[in-house]
Structure 1
Amino acid sequence: MESQSGEYNSAKLLRAQSHIWNHIFSFINSMSLKCAVDLGIPGVIHSYGKPMPLSKLIASLPIHPSKTRFIYRLMRILIHSGFFSEQNVTKQDELEVEYVLTGASILLLKDNPFSMIPFLHVILDPISTKPWYHLSAWLKDDIPTPFEKVHGMTFWDYAGHDPNYKHLFNDFMASDARFVTSVLIEKYKEVFQGFKSLVDVGGGTGAVTKAIASSFPQLECVVFDLPHVITGLQGSDNLKYVGGNMFEAIPPTDAILLKVI
């Protein structure tokens, strides 16, 4: 009885340990994905036009010769995560692995109109990830957000302060807007019927609103966001940009659009 109990406890402990290990090392998945995007691996395989042998992939990447053996390991992680698939082929009596894209990696191609590369860049940027290291410290004080705890200002103020980070965020918002708009206008046109005006609150550079304004010329559209976000942006006949703070006031309108707030 004691032996059975000991075996049960050992098995339970091993499962618990593996569960903890899995969560501790889960960052490897996202960082491996970032590495693949930074190296342009999805685009390289796509441009090859057919299943790409490992040797061809290695030869096409901007890596140091001493690091070539690590690409196979990187691809194993990404295959396990579902970003690529592999097939083994025999050529000249030698076995070689070949790689193809999956539905997920197709969304990581730069020329894909629905590319999620901008989302990856802004979320995995050190500016965005650093606050997570200070979550426990943030919970011990009265600072509103972990981002402010680390960077000394709100996310929006920081974006206005750092042009590079602002560019990353605006790229993400624009790419996400293209994705959302393709569904919104194609599947839910009736939502916009009967309105004369619409304000896109926190509309960024206006990617969604531009598509709506183009599809519904009778609708007077306003992109409403912080002044530093819309500076220099030009409107059209039924689209204009207005700067302000949504927590203070929103321009009068028939309809308010909130996409990502």
Structure 2
Amino acid sequence: MAPYSGERGHELLQAQAHVWNHLYHYVNSMSLKCAVELGIPDIIHNHGRPMTLSELVAALKINSSKTPYMSRLMRLLVHLGFFDVEKINGNNGVEEGYVITPPSSLLRKEATVSLSAFVLEELDSSLLTNWNFLSSWFQGNETTAFEKANGLSFLEVAAEIPEINCLFNDSMASDAQFIISIVVKEYGQVFDGLRSLVDVGGGTGAVARAIADAFPHVKCTVFDQPHVIAHVPKSTKIDVVGGNMFESIPPADALLLKSVLHGWSDNDCVKILKRCKEVIPTKEDGGKVILLETVVNGDTDDYKSMETKLCFDVMMMLASTGKEREEHVWQKIFIDAGFSDYKILPVLGLRSIIEVYP
């Protein structure tokens, strides 16, 4: 070990800060969860103007003795970019008032497009516990760390425990409403020429309803497991079919799979896509599979995007046999499933629209 020096001391302190920064990342997540649970984004938005700390505490109807603690929570959330502060003239002279930012606007429970349910599901205590089994999973023989912790796969647990099933469905519907609103408004050309579409693994139907509303001429069907489609709201605009995508899929001009394949192994993805190919027309007749998935690209992804994609990859490793994939991995899957061509549109932030042609 090199003798101690001022330079080495500086390096050690930087290394400690790096360790601490990542060690306490969970504080950011859990503070965000707290804000969503308390409804702070909605309260500040509905206030209609910058909201002082005392006004926020009063609106939350919490004991005034908690005011200093709320100030500290909000200070962190402001630092993280979830809220901002503006100077205002108040009863006590110039004060600071909280305002929402684009990230916190997505966390309003009352918003048309909201990720609040997604936050609450991902940070639910019953799911976070599974991370404590990651190291022992590496040393064991279970398929996933989730299975190590629970004795069953995530899908099996969701099928047996209604609370987990509803939490997961609400989370997926929250994300679906968010992403499909952008696809429909800005990239609706992917639905051009279609007369029918099946949303494979469509959950509670948020995506299919959005497409049916935007393109009334497209007959939309939600296809998922029976215990999932039991929670699909009744609608005259969409059809609902229960089943197993490994066995058969309803036919249509196009099939849509949003964040489905990243939950399965490469071999399982090939099996699913082979089923897809069986029920769509030829490429010349407009047949295709539309994927909304992540494509990992170390050459073009910025640091933050890459970090998020890699975190998602490890999260998928924890709970499933799936992963986040580079383009060359996707390409091999498509070829092995018998498809002739594909096109990637990297237009959805962390995710892409991938059109796969038979």
TM (norm. structure 1) is 0.90
8 Å contact kept, 1:113–1:175: no
- Which residue of structure 1 aligns with residue 141 of structure 2? 142
Q: Which residue of 1 aligns with 2:248?
A: 249
Is 2:154 the partner of 1:155?
yes
Quote the residue 2:104 is aligned against. Answer: 105
Deviations along 1:31-76, one digit per CA (max 9) or x if unpaired, are 1111111111112212221111111111222333443320111011
Which residue is equivalent to 2:132?
A: 133
Offset of residue 192 of structure 1 = 2.1
* One-letter amino acid matched to 1:71: M
Q: Which amino acid aligns with 1:112?
A: A
2:210 and 2:152 mapped to 1: Cα distance?
33
User: Cα–Cα, structure 1 residues 213 and 45, in superposed 2: closer, same or farther, change >3 Å?
Assistant: closer
Q: Which runs of 4+ in 1 moved over 6 A?
A: none
Encode CA deviations 1:171-229: one digit per residue, 9 max, x unaligned: 22222222222222222333223333322110001111122233334433221111100
1:259 correspondence with 2:258: yes
Q: Which residue of 2 aligns with 1:221?
A: 220
Note closer, same or farther for the CA distance 1:238–1:114 as it changes in structure 2 (3 Å cut).
closer
**Inter-partner Cα distance in structure 1 for 2:137 and 2:258:** 28
Q: Distance in 1 between matches of 2:60 and 2:45?
A: 13
Residues 1:51 and 2:33 are matched in the alignment: no
Amino acid at match of 1:98: G
Whether 1:206 aligns to 2:205 is: yes
Task: Tell me the secondary structure at the aligned position of residue 139 of structure 2.
Answer: coil
Deviation of 1:164 after TM superposition, in Å, equals 1.9
Is the 1:134–1:146 contact (alpha carbons within 8 Å) kept by the matching residues of 2? yes
Larger Rg: 1
- RMSD between superposed Cα atoms in Å: 2.3
Q: Determine the C-alpha separation between the residues in 1 that align with 2:86 and 2:252.
A: 56
Q: For structure 2, which runs of at least 5 residues remain unmatched after alignment?
A: 261-358
Q: For residues 195 and 59 of structure 1, do their structure 2 counterparts lie closer, same or farther at Cα, with a shift above 3 Å needed?
A: closer
**3-state DSSP of counterpart to 2:5:** helix
Q: For 1:132 and 1:234, locate their aligned partners in 2 and report how far apart those are by CA, in whole Å.
A: 33
Q: Which amino acid aligns with 2:257?
A: L
Q: Match for 1:250: what amino acid? A: I
**Does the CA-based 8 Å contact 1:39-1:62 persist in structure 2?**
no
2: distance between equivalents of 1:233 and 1:179? Answer: 18
Find the residue that maps to 1:109 and give its secondary structure: coil
CA distance, structure 2, for counterparts of residue 147 and residue 51 of structure 1:
43
**Do 2:31 and 2:73's aligned partners in 1 also have CA atoms closer than 8 Å?**
yes
| Contact 1:200/1:258, CA 8 A, preserved across alignment | yes
Aligned amino acid, residue 225 of structure 1:
D
Structure 1 pair 196/96, CA: closer, same or farther in 2 (3 Å)?
Answer: closer
Moved more, 6-15 or 175-184: 175-184
Q: Mean alpha-carbon deviation: is it higher for 72-81 or for 107-116?
A: 107-116
CA distance in 1, matches of 2:92, 2:6: 47
Aligned residue in 2 for 1:168: 167
Tell which deviates more after alignment, 131-140 or 158-167.
Answer: 158-167
The answer to whether the Cα contact below 8 Å between 1:109 and 1:117 also exists between their aligned partners in 2 is yes
Distance 1:236 1:97, change over 3 A: closer
Structure 1: unaligned runs, 5 residues or longer: none
Cα deviation 1:213-260 (Å, max 9, x = unaligned): 333344332211111001264665663211112233322333211111
Cα deviation per residue 1:142-183 (whole Å; 9 max; x = unaligned)? 211222211222212222222222222222222222222222
Classify the secondary structure of the residue corresponding to 1:194: coil
Choose 63-72 or 110-119, whichever is displaced more.
Answer: 63-72
Relative to the length of structure 2, the TM-score reads: 0.67
Aligned in 2, Cα 1:188/1:153: closer, same or farther, shift over 3 Å? same
Cα contact 1:219–1:238 (8 A) shared by 2 = no
- Structure-1 separation of matches of 2:235 and 2:73: 47
Q: Which residue number in structure 2 is paired with residue 77 of structure 1?
A: 76
Q: Look up the equivalent residue of 2:68 and give its one-letter code.
A: R
